[in-house]
Chains A and B, each alone.
Chain A
Amino acid sequence: MARTLAMFTDTSLCIGCRACQVACKQWNELGPEVPDWTGSYQNHTHFTDKTFRLVRFFEAPGAAPNGDLAWLLMSDVCKHCADAGCLNACPTGAIYRTEHGTVNINQDVCNGCRYCVSACPFGVVSFNEQTGTATKCTFCNDRIHNGLGPACAKACPTESIQFGFRDDLVVKAQKRVETLKGMGFKEAQLYGADSKGFLGGLNAFFLLLGKPETYGLPVNPKLPQKNIFVDSLLSIGSAVLVGVGALMAFRSRGDGKEG
């Protein structure tokens, strides 16, 4: 496998211009949608089959360094998890990992079972009613295989979205957290940078100015497939009870009467 590529979204640099969202739509030919009225500049409420990059806006009382209300921005995207729930869930093999570590959905193989939509801990994967398939950010698969960065990173005017090798970006991100802490942003933290952390680390990771909850992100997302072992054991327990119950039900009179 080639050296893992990553996107580092530094939300402290984001100005909420949504150039990334527009660039993503243009490059990936995602088409128009009816807008959502969210009460802020955010549009849409959720990721959709036509919105792979989504700039989210949060008013967080007391989150600013001086204790004032902070207006937090986050350009959100598929995290391309190292342990990806959607990829594990896929029953057709349509979801695959590229040699760069990114996660993609092969649109020619997906049959639209929609299991991956429920299996994503971040609500990224969306169902496209027109094509009948699941869709999400491709990490601009066509661009990165031709020596270009993702369209969102290219369009970002403040370098809030950076593209590069994962190991380089993590070092850079850690330095940035220290700088911000020195400036008084005590809650500055990385989300998903640790490859030993949740989901094996995210290949699109973030610098947040507050706790993950402030951004509506799960604090410690777990791989959905981790449940299979315990859930299966309980199912086997139930099967044993039903089997023994059936034997009891039929044996209590039937015993010895035959033959």
Chain B
Amino acid sequence: MSLLQSSHWPFLIDVYFFLGGLAGGAFVIATVAGLVGSRLYRDVVRAGYYVALLALIPCPLILIVDLGVPGRFLNMMKTFNPQSPMSMGSWALAVFGLCVGLAALFTLIEDLQRKNLSNQKLIVGVIGGVFGFFVAAYPGVLLGATARPLWTNGHALGALFLAVGASTAAAAIALILTLAGRAAGEGATAIRRMTVLALLIQALSIVVFIVAVQGAGSAASDRALALLLSGPFKMTFWVGAIIVGTVVPLLLGLADLKRPSLALSAVTALLVLVGGFLVKYVVMAAGQA
């Protein structure tokens, strides 16, 4: 019998992985939208930077509360260890947090004073975008760099977490635009296209992940994969993450692009958000079981 131990990271860490990915994705989407057309996509840029801020605010708090000795959280900032995805993630989160704060501040100033700060936002957006990608992806790489059989053989978890960050962020922005009555605009159409594209990348990453674990072929990896695919987590994975969270919103999203409807947009966005969380949740839960 193997002696492997689990970190027993709680549900809160799943929430952090979800919010961090959402923030990274929203920031990148806002930046790309701003690059392509800062005036045409003003709604998307605003919503994206605000969503990134709102999603990111709880993140450091969650991480600190989860520590065994929360008072020592700054010890993460006294070391720079490129071998440790957690160390690199801490630094990336700090830099990204700064960029998110600045981008949201510039957006707020624009909203309040009718100034045009799109150049400033662009600089912060491009730098922050790189770190946004990092913050969205590193938790997957972090899980891959452990001895847990499901994670260490998966190789695509970073790719998957990044794709989930993008799909959930696009869905969150789409939902906000829909609720704000801007569903008919150019921005809303583009963000719905983005949701569908991100869902495709998400689906592809899930396939690569499963195939990689299957291909590892060790007894431990087979057992770990069975937990996910046919064991106690099969309902959450197949019904929650795959069908309701990926396949159905993909079909609904495509239908919505052909014949736009408010209800369809809202339902698609909600399913993507729930499904994206379930993907990360089930990977964490099955990997730690």
Which A residues are within 8 Å of any B CB, using their own CB? 46-47, 76, 85, 88-94, 109-115, 117-129, 131-134, 216, 218, 221-222, 224-225, 227-228, 230-232, 234-235, 237-239, 241-243, 245-255, 257-258
Contacts and interface: CB of A to CB of B under 8 A. Distances in A.
Contacts of A253: 186, 189-190
Given A110-B69, A118-B5, A242-B166, A91 B32 contact: no
Given A93-B79, A242-B201, A246-B32, A231 B155 contact: yes
Contacts of B41: 250, 254
B121 to A, nearest CB: 15
A249 B68 contact: no
A238 B5 contact: no
Contacts of B189: 253
B147 interface: yes
B155 A122 contact: no
Contacts of B90: 91
Nearest to B220: A218
Contacts of B6: 117-118
B84 A90 contact: yes
Contact of B197 (A94, A124, A129, A249): A249
Q: Which 10 A-B pairs have the closest CB atoms?
A: A112-B68, A132-B68, A235-B158, A238-B159, A123-B3, A111-B72, A245-B197, A91-B87, A118-B146, A92-B75
B162 A258 contact: no
B145 A254 contact: no
Q: Which of B33, B137, B138 has the most CB of A within 10 A?
A: B137
Interface string B69-101: 110110110110101111100100000000000
Contact of A109 (B4, B75, B81, B155): B75
A191 B230 CA distance: 35
Contact of A91 (B3, B40, B84): B84
Contact of A123 (B2, B40, B157, B190): B2
A235 B139 CA distance: 11
Given A127-B8, A132-B67, 20 more contacts: A46-B5, A89-B145, A90-B87, A91-B84, A111-B72, A111-B75, A113-B76, A115-B142, A118-B5, A119-B145, A122-B4, A224-B145, A227-B141, A231-B145, A232-B158, A241-B201, A242-B197, A245-B198, A250-B33, A258-B39
B208 to A, nearest CB: 7
**Interface extent on B, as a size class?**
35 or more
Interface of B: 1-9, 25, 28-29, 32-33, 36-41, 44, 66-70, 72-73, 75-76, 78-79, 81, 83-87, 90, 133, 137-138, 140-142, 144-148, 152, 155-160, 162-163, 166, 186, 189-191, 193-194, 197-198, 201, 205, 208, 288
A24 B255 CA distance: 66
B67 A123 contact: no
A128 B4 CA distance: 16
Contact of B2 (A92, A131, A216, A231): A216
Nearest to A248: B197
A117 B7 contact: yes
Contact of B141 (A91, A134, A228, A257): A228
Q: Which of B4, B38, B73 has the most CB of A within 10 A?
A: B4
Nearest to A119: B146
Contact of B198 (A110, A227, A242): A242
A76 to B, nearest CB: 8
Contacts of A243: 28, 32, 133
A114 B193 contact: no
A121 B84 contact: no
Contact of A242 (B28, B73, B84, B191): B28
A246 B194 CA distance: 6
Given A114-B9, A242-B28, A252-B193, A88 B155 contact: no
Contacts of B157: 231
A246 B201 CA distance: 12
Contacts of A131: 68-69
A234 B83 contact: no
A254 B67 contact: no
Nearest to B186: A253
10 contacts: A91-B90, A123-B5, A129-B68, A216-B1, A231-B155, A242-B133, A242-B166, A250-B190, A253-B186, A258-B39
Contacts of B38: 258
Contacts of A251: 36
B162 A239 contact: yes
Contacts of A114: 7-9, 68
A221 B146 CA distance: 11
Contacts of A249: 190-191, 193-194, 197
A112 to B, nearest CB: 2
Contact of B145 (A94, A113, A225, A238): A225
B34 to A, nearest CB: 9
B4 A112 contact: no
B89 to A, nearest CB: 8
